[in-house]
Amino acid sequence: MNIFVLTGAGISAESGLGTFRDKAGTGIWARFDPMRLATPEAFASNPEEVHAFYNARRRNFLEAQPNPAHVALAKLRRDWPSVGAVSSFAPRTLTTSMSAPDRLR
């Protein structure tokens, strides 16, 4: 049996990693203007602001702790090597449980 798990940013929201958009309207882009941070023009006009924004996101990612969903998915990957998993956003516990070809970001 082959199983493939595809997750999005929501799996990591429980770990305190903000999502860019959410149903509640409290996502990152509700607080920051994407046109000032996520376009080539933004980078060209203010690279320091763009770098500061993404450096804060990277720090948040590195400090995040796995939640029960990450732990369960990592265990599934260890116990069932035929399970494939791709996540757009996952703390190290999940990504280190994946083989190199599975680690996509």
- Asked if 47 and 95 count as a contact pair (C-beta separation under 8 A), the reply is no
- Residue ranges covered by each domain of the chain: 3-102
Structure tokens at 40: 């080539």
| β-bridge partners, 87 | 7
Q: The pTM is what? A: 0.67
Q: Which of 88, 64, 82 is nearest to 99 (CA)?
A: 82
pLDDT tens across 8-60, in order?
Answer: 778 888 888 888 888 888 889 999 999 999 999 999 999 999 999 999 998 98
CB-facing half-sphere around the CA of 41: CA atoms within 13 A: 4
What fold, for 3-102?
SIR2/SIRT2 'Small Domain' (3.30.1600)
Task: Report the amino acid identity of residue 72.
Answer: A
